[in-house]
Structure 1
């Protein structure tokens, strides 16, 4: 989703358009990057990360950083290649029954965990059962599996035992999966972090310590993670010599350092200490003509979330509709971000998926559902205040603590409080891990959040806001919306035209109810050393794929 070229594969076999990122004109030569290869004989690349890794537990991970490092250290049935196509991972092949409900995967027999244990079908059964077990309290387990894997929804609600999940091992190297409904994009789902295997004996031996540090983790993927704990601000990915495809992995080590200050990141890049950094808006104009400059389109959509359970004001539909329309999004993307990001006036991103009959982009067909409209915002605001019987509202605005987010939320808060008379907005910035915790416990009022797709279908966005979704921490519930979305995965599962019509209608219902307000679809402006080769960027799932990373010539 953020690379010079990438190909989106449309679910159900349609091909999406290629997005080409633009690079700047020639300018000054960038500082050389020291990969330490000459010093140690190792191939090393050095990167930054915007925050500590929130979780290395596949069942509990919910964020971009976690899934990046899970994908680097672990492998599921399939892995995404440079064209975003599933390529064999632990599975070498699979067969699908005529009715589309039974998927049988043949697993390779040479895959090992980093402790020497073989990776077997039982590891997938255990992991998937753990993800939907209500005792695990996984957000993504129910979100990814309910309505897809047979009995997942009933199990996640505590109505059936985990052993009833539609996944079984027929011997050590055959995995059989029963689906609730035909799901043509299920193969791409198996590449996602929630579907990674787990070594049951190791997990249970570690107990509460599992996935909290290097010694409490097992790898079965291209790299192992070294010198890491849940609070680390530095760590390394080290080539996993026990990985079944280790000969393909060219890098000996990738290092990572948490840096939140953009100027510090730039200094590190210019002195050759790191090989990639994200540019903030104030640096874009200065470096847009640099040879290393790259702007790449994203499929992440940022939005405001309104918690209807912690604020009487946000429980009022007219107040939410007013807030949704009361800030200038063009000014935000052009002045605050200045990195190629575009205004979002809906939920499903632009250039993500075409309509099945016409090939037109879903976003174009659905249209602009929530535009900046100050007149309408003030009218909704007045109605809301009247219904509440007050002339003032005070809200707490929760967001991450990095510099770019700080500028963004200050802009939005100022716009809202200026344009809506009687509104006071108090900003609360916290580390990302803390925000995710506050979010899942619904301990916020107004929040800046985002979503990147987990698979190539509108369902990955639409299912977020169904009543029982593991990611719907807003208090929003609409039987009409739920039915429209659920029908796309059940009775309309094999009728793609009808499915997409449901998605169009569901998106309209969502923004008539306004549990969220779309803000922008992101792009990323970066400086990337020409030495960085083979690092692919996915339009869904883990953002960066490091398996094929290599050091090239400058």
Structure 2
């Protein structure tokens, strides 16, 4: 979703996530968000009379239905127009959102009782109630909804796993409205990162009366949605390349929202975005490739790490038939046949680093010795053309063929096309007999192809929803709704089960099992890691206090403002 979520490949979708705030892994500390001084930096410079930002995204909005969201672009938009029980502030702390105070927690840490703000309202004037959370959460786990992120509640909220499996009814979910403003949540087990989940889009509320009235039209455009966050989405027709945010006057903390409007346009070519920035039409853009090199001395340039991990997904079943990628040796061959460092240096050129595993650097630390997960597990799949060719020969022999024709799916942005061409050259050169056809499509189309498993190899990626390695590792469990690759390993599934159940009470044991799980995924080449994204952006000096988040939605505009130019 980031949040754990699918996102545009090597494009500029997340170029707006800039380092204006401390970018830690997020904490569990909470505080009342009503006083802007506690979450916003002090204002610097004279406030501009016109509080308007002009921004770009690198991809269209695939959905505005919070129950169905899986991608980062939608997560960014939803984070600014909706609000859950908590949200992340400028320091990446969890601060109170729709919740008016910290919950009462039972001694066994399984029952949480939340109070919803009395002044929390939807943009149509309806109050936000505990029933809105009950309705939305039940929709998420209802098999009839087929929500890809329903697994986020499985093993966390009581009965969620059984409901998604069709064994129990949605109304048995461990969530109940005690009254209009009191929400009770029962957990299946004590979950150390529970509060961190509550700012994510799948935990947002939905107004049952409004959703029911809209029917199939709900969330199809900006006029068929109501909002409970800092902004309202406007001028979005459901498929277009532009939209706007406008300040939401019904938001409980509207006094903290300084921006009146944000204009957003989808621009997929960095060269076009750079021209718009230099001409003063856009206030912030992302750079990549040669553009980073040409602007190294620009005082507007900023760089920051992200929790986004990019990799090849290998689809083992397409159109109901096994693909050549069911062969482990073929997967290993491809995973070791491209030079990740050369790719980072010559194609990305933005500070991104080669990755030796699925879990990104900086996400989480060993509870025993405080060492980073990536450092401890090391580089598990290195570039080695000779070993790759050995695996390739074995795989071809096992398949009874001497050549393979495969397809590489990716986005249609300028950088995604360059990435595809680089990988095509590397793989065809290092694996004799491989013919790799490129398929570059719009982001929304790629998501659809992914969901239908309509691909052979996909250049894909994931951003952390919360600061725990399981957020990445669970993606390739056999029953995970975001797997969409056909990868299935009984030992891997057993490790995931223990990590999320019996090992929760033993952090050190759980940590070791997560390390073992990633090693197993790499040993079997379930995926092939490529790089961890770093962002290079240009931002006008008059833009202040945009919240950049390492986990969850990439950025927040709640506290942003502009000073006089």
TM-score bracket for this pair, using the shorter chain length: over 0.9
What stretches of structure 1 of length at least 5 have no aligned partner? 14-34
Matched, 1:340 2:351: yes
Question: Any idea what SS the aligned residue of 1:237 has?
Answer: strand
Match of 2:121 among 112, 117, 125: 112
CA distance in 1, matches of 2:560, 2:323: 51
User: Could you tell me which residue of structure 2 aligns to residue 131 of structure 1?
Assistant: 140
User: Could you tell me which residue of structure 2 aligns to residue 371 of structure 1?
Assistant: 382
Structure 1 runs of 4+ off > 6 angstroms? 10-13
User: Could you tell me which residue of structure 2 aligns to residue 3 of structure 1?
Assistant: 19
Match of 1:253 among 254, 261, 265: 261
Matched, 1:100 2:90: no
CA distance in 2, matches of 1:10, 1:86: 8
Aligned-residue CA RMSD in angstroms?
1.5
Q: Deviations over 1:477-502 (max 9, x none)?
A: 11211111121121111211111000
Match of 1:145 among 144, 149, 153: 153
- The 8 Å contact of residues 27 and 92 in structure 2, kept in 1 or not, is answered as no
Match of 1:472 among 480, 483, 487: 483
User: Could you tell me which residue of structure 2 aligns to residue 383 of structure 1?
Assistant: 394
User: Could you tell me which residue of structure 1 aligns to residue 251 of structure 2?
Assistant: 243
Displacement of 1:9 in angstroms is 4.1
Matched, 1:540 2:551: yes
1:349-368 to 2 correspondences below 5 Å: 349-368=360-379
- The 8 Å contact of residues 80 and 556 in structure 2, kept in 1 or not, is answered as yes
User: Could you tell me which residue of structure 2 aligns to residue 178 of structure 1?
Assistant: 186
Match of 1:393 among 391, 399, 404: 404
CA distance in 2, matches of 1:474, 1:190: 28
CA distance in 2, matches of 1:248, 1:10: 22
- The 8 Å contact of residues 181 and 489 in structure 1, kept in 2 or not, is answered as no
- The 8 Å contact of residues 270 and 414 in structure 2, kept in 1 or not, is answered as yes
Q: Deviations over 1:252-286 (max 9, x none)?
A: 00110011111110111001011001112111111
Displacement of 1:401 in angstroms is 0.5
Displacement of 1:149 in angstroms is 0.8
User: Could you tell me which residue of structure 2 aligns to residue 281 of structure 1?
Assistant: 289
CA distance in 1, matches of 2:530, 2:253: 42
Q: Deviations over 1:119-140 (max 9, x none)?
A: 0000000000001111111101
User: Could you tell me which residue of structure 2 aligns to residue 433 of structure 1?
Assistant: 444
| Structure 1 pair 368–11 and aligned structure 2 pair: CA distance change class (3 A) | farther
Displacement of 1:158 in angstroms is 1.2
CA distance in 1, matches of 2:557, 2:244: 12
Equivalent pairs, count? 529
- The 8 Å contact of residues 121 and 173 in structure 1, kept in 2 or not, is answered as yes
1:221-240 to 2 correspondences below 5 Å: 221-240=229-248
Given the two structures, how large is their TM-score scaled by the length of structure 1? 0.94
Bigger RCO of structures 1 and 2 (CA < 8 A, at least 6 apart): 2
CA distance in 1, matches of 2:116, 2:192: 20
- The 8 Å contact of residues 11 and 185 in structure 1, kept in 2 or not, is answered as no
Given the two structures, how large is their TM-score scaled by the length of structure 2? 0.92
CA distance in 2, matches of 1:82, 1:11: 12
Displacement of 1:97 in angstroms is 1.5
- The 8 Å contact of residues 26 and 551 in structure 2, kept in 1 or not, is answered as no
